[in-house]
């Protein structure tokens, strides 16, 4: 132990000065000067840190949104159970390579290298890299399957147009068409054509309305659709299980 | 004769492989096997053209989606018609009309087969097929030793 009397006045003065520096608003001034200096000297770091801050902010918002959606999903499931609706199933994705094409130019059918062994079944849907619908499985063997693309003349599918209308998408080599749309349905150019995978809540987007043929003599509208998937050189597809 | 048969067989096999692998994807509207059969039918005796049209019609049907043996029937008809018309019209210009006649027959037969008329596609098909057939002629004629005057 050192008695207080032994502490010299020099040390006391130093301690007081240090305390003064800590308490004095001058501290903020120094910090600001340092920040200004670092901002000027290192603009890239500053930009990156701002980007990181924004991303963190977005991440937080998204995680909050996800929590909210989880709560809503639970609530939805409870209500579905209460109302005795069919429960939704989750989907899984299997990647597949295209190994060959139908030799006829009039067909749009491809052979893919996954089959029953990977759990594929007839009627499953295929999407491209961007998640747009590109076709449906029509035949499955152990190691390979046949996939009919949406522009095959024999392809058809019940689809939604925008928010209100329903129709039947028919494939074609010239263009995709939607048939059997009633005149009372409201359809506009650029409406999105989509469909929902059965038993799930996942929407799959197909294309956009490009032409509406309103022939009053016909019972139905005839609508032309431009597919979102414009890649003619397909090599990889993803099957929704 | 054996060498000639091998050349025809491998040429048609490569053309069938191009149809199956479609290196240009769906941006090229042409059927290489069909054009190969037309080329063989125009430049070789009836017996050879008929045998190869049956073999490659069968192979094409085997690789196709439908259950109907459509290509055997179509390729055989094309070989028969080409030889029939070549027998009756011996002029050099006749080959031009016979080629487009075969192409038109192929278009109509396939449009009937799918029960749809694809106008825009058919126009592109004729244009692309004409160009590819010219290329096939240009590449294969020297190899098959077909005189240019007879071929043009």
Chain A residues with beta carbon closer than 8 angstroms to that of B62: none
Regarding whether A150 and A63 lie in a shared domain, the answer is: no
Cβ of residue A210 closer than 8 Å to a chain B Cβ: no
CB contact under 8 A, A107 and B120: no
Domain that holds residue A102: 90-241
**Cβ contact, residue pair B31, A146, below 8 Å:** no
Whether A90 shows a pLDDT value over 50: the answer reads yes
Query: What pLDDT does residue A78 have?
Result: 80
- The answer to whether B121 contacts A154, with C-beta atoms less than 8 Å apart, is no
Asked if A138 is an interface residue toward chain B (Cβ–Cβ < 8 A), one would say yes
C-beta of residue A89 within 8 angstroms of C-beta of residue A240: no
Q: In the prediction, which pLDDT does B151 show?
A: 47
Suggest the residue from B62, B65, B114 to mutate for an interface test with chain A (most A CBs closer than 10 A).
B65
In angstroms, the CA B82 to CA B78 distance is 6
Together in a domain, A103 and A180: yes
In this structure, are A49 and A117 located in the same domain? no
Residue A76 sits in the same domain as residue A95: no
Say which of B20, B31, B119 has its CB closest to residue A105.
B31
Most B CBs within 10 Å: which of A97, A102, A106, A138, as the mutation test of the B interface?
Answer: A106
Nearest CA in chain A to B17: A103
Task: Say yes or no: A97 contacts chain B, CB-CB below 8 A.
Answer: no
Indicate the range of A40-54, A90-104, A140-154 predicted with least confidence: A40-54
Let me know whether A98 and A211 are in one domain. yes
pLDDT of B148 above 70: no
- The interface pTM score, or ipTM, of the predicted complex is 0.88
Report yes or no: B50 and A133 within 8 Å, Cβ to Cβ: no
| Angle between helices B32-43 and B119-144 in degrees, nearest 10 | 50
* One domain, residues A159 and A181: yes
Chain B CB within 8 Å of residue A230 CB:
no
Residues linked to residue A159 through DSSP beta bridges, in sequence order: A167
Same-domain pairing of A60 and A162: no
In a domain, A233, yes or no: yes
B88 and chain A in contact, CB less than 8 A: no
- How many CB pairs below 8 Å do chains A and B form together? 70
3-state SS assignment for residue B53: helix
Query: What phi and psi, each to the nearest 5 degrees, are found at residue A189?
Result: -65, 145
Same-domain pairing of A67 and A112: no
Asked if residue A113 belongs to a domain, the reply is yes
Residue A40 confidence (pLDDT) above 70: no
pLDDT score for B152: 44
pLDDT digits (tens, 9 = 90+) for A55-73: 888 888 888 888 888 888 8
Considering A19, A54, A87, which residue would you say is the last residue of a domain?
A: A87
Is A81 found in the same domain as A118?
no
A126 in any annotated domain: yes
Q: Residue A14: inside a domain, yes or no?
A: no
For residues A96 and A41, state if they share a domain. no
**Strands, E, within chain A: which ranges?**
93-101, 109-112, 125-127, 133-140, 145-149, 156-161, 165-170, 176-182, 192-196, 203-213, 220-227, 236-240
Look at residues A54, A69, A87 and tell me which one is the last residue of a structural domain: A87
Number of independent structural domains in chain A: 2
Give A173→chain B minimum CA distance, Å.
6
* pLDDT of the residue at A84: 66
- The span from the CA of A102 to the CA of A27, in Å, is 76
Domain termination residue (choose one: A62, A87, A112): A87
User: Is residue A11, in this structure, part of any structural domain at all?
Assistant: no
Judging contacts by C-beta atoms under 8 Å, the chain B residues touching residue A174 are 118-121
Residue A1 forms part of a structural domain: no
Comparing alpha-carbon positions, the chain B residue that sits nearest to A109 is B65
* Region of poorest pLDDT, from A8-22, A92-106, B75-89: A8-22
Q: Which residue has the higher pLDDT, B60 or A79?
A: B60
Decide which of A210 and A74 is more confident. A210
Residue A19 lies in a domain: no
CB A146 within 8 A of CB A109: yes
Is A222 at the interface with chain B, CB within 8 A? no
Same domain for A75 and A156, yes or no, is: no
Among chain B residues, CA nearest to A99? B21
- B-chain residue closest to A235, CA distance: B25
* A53 and A114, same domain (yes or no): no
3-state secondary structure of B12: helix
Q: What is the mean pLDDT of chain A?
A: 81
- Among chain B residues, CA nearest to A149: B26
Yes or no, beta carbons of B19 and A103 under 8 Å apart: yes
Tokens (6 digits) for A29: 């001034």
**Window 75-94 of A, Cβ < 8 Å to B:** none
pLDDT at A170: 92
Average pLDDT rounded to a whole number, residues A224-238: 84
What pLDDT does B99 receive?
A: 93
Task: Give me the CATH number covering residue A225.
Answer: 2.40.10.340
Is residue A20 included in any domain, yes or no?
A: no
Where is pLDDT greater, at B103 or A36?
Answer: B103
């Amino acid at each position: 132990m050192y008695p207080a009397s032994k502490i010299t006045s020099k040390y006391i003065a130093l301690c007081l000065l240090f305390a003064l520096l800590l308490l004095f608003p001058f501290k903020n001034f120094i910090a600001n000067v340092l920040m200004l200096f670092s901002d000027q000297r290192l603009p890239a770091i500053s930009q990156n840190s701002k980007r990181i801050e924004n991303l963190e902010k977005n991440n937080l918002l998204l995680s909050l949104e996800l929590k909210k959606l989880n709560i809503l999903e639970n609530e939805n499931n409870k209500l579905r159970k209460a109302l005795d609706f069919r429960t939704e199933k989750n989907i899984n994705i299997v990647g597949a390579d295209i190994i060959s094409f139908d030799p006829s130019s009039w067909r749009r059918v491809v052979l893919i290298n996954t089959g029953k062994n990977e759990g594929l079944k007839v009627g499953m849907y295929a999407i491209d890299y961007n998640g747009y619908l590109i076709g449906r499985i029509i035949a499955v063997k152990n190691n390979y399957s046949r996939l009919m693309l949406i522009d095959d003349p024999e392809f058809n599918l019940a689809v939604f147009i925008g928010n209100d209308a329903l129709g039947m998408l028919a494939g074609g080599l010239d263009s995709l068409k939607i048939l059997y749309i009633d005149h009372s349905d409201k359809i506009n150019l650029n409406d999105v054509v989509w469909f929902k995978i059965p038993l799930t809540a996942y929407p799959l987007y197909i294309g956009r309305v490009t032409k509406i043929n309103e022939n009053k003599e016909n019972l139905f509208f005839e609508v032309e659709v431009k597919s979102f998937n414009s890649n003619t050189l397909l090599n990889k597809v993803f099957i929704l299980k | 004769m054996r060498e000639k048969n091998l050349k025809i067989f491998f040429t048609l096999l490569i053309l069938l492989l191009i149809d199956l692998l479609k290196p240009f994807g769906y941006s090229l509207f042409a059927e290489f096997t069909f054009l190969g059969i037309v080329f063989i039918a125009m430049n070789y005796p009836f017996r050879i053209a008929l045998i190869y049209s049956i073999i490659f019609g069968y192979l094409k049907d085997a690789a196709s989606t439908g259950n109907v043996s459509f290509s055997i029937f179509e390729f055989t008809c094309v070989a028969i018609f080409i030889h029939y018309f070549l027998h009756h019209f011996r002029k050099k210009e006749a080959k031009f009309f016979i080629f487009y006649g075969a192409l038109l027959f192929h278009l109509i037969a396939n449009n009937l087969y799918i029960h749809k008329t694809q106008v825009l596609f058919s126009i592109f098909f004729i244009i692309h097929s004409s160009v590819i057939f010219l290329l096939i002629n240009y590449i294969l004629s020297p190899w098959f030793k077909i005189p240019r005057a007879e071929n043009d």
